[in-house]
Amino acid sequence: LFSGYARDGGLFMPEEIPSLDLATLQTWSTHTYPQLVEEICSLFISSEDLPREDLSDLISRAFRRFRHKDVVELASLKNGLNVLELWHGVTYAFKDLALSCVGQLLQYFLKKRKKQITIVVGTSGDTGSAAIESVRGVDNVNIIVLLPRGRCSPIQELQMTTVIEDN
């Protein structure tokens, strides 16, 4: 959580990926998006590191500001085509889904460790605004976003340059 890359410069990967039986998948098929996030996170984060009740509260806070009650919406189109709408977050970017959780995880573990960090983000668009919103108002996180002048859409630039927060 606190380092961007693995020691070899690549991405972090779990040592093993849990197998899910059919009964679990059938149960999960009735879950909301936040419930699925909680179930999947609990497979990879031990209850010793993050008790299940705290995880549930954290996920709930992460999605509180989304505009759709279910966070994501499965829209049915013609001829049996379905589209999953991933743009109901604060910045209208799919990145809100993951970064809102990352912001809550950072806050939880930093507060627990009594630590402060500064996040530096380089972006050409929606990553910057989603990152800002994910840690907006978090006491133990400062964020600096670098963006190319005139290279982001006007809405993205406004999302990154008009946030008034202490961090």
pLDDT at 137: 93
User: pLDDT exceeding 90 applies to what percent of the chain?
Assistant: 90
78 among known catalytic residues: no
Give residue 3's pLDDT band: very low, low, confident or very high (50, 70, 90).
Answer: confident
Whether 75 contacts 83, CB under 8 Å: yes
Q: Pick from 79, 80, 99: which is nearest to 90 by CA?
A: 99
Lowest mean pLDDT among 20-29, 53-62, 124-133: 124-133
DSSP SS3 for 98: helix
pLDDT at 16: 93
pLDDT at 4 over 80: no
Whole-model pTM? Answer: 0.91
Lowest mean pLDDT among 11-15, 27-31, 67-71, 98-102: 11-15
Interval 81-118: pLDDT, tens:
999 999 999 999 999 999 999 999 999 999 999 999 99
Catalytic residue among 95, 111, 112, 114: 95
Give residue 125's pLDDT band: very low, low, confident or very high (50, 70, 90).
Answer: confident
Q: How many CA atoms within 13 Å lie on the side-chain side of 94?
A: 4
C-alpha–C-alpha distance, residues 131 and 73, integer Å:
22
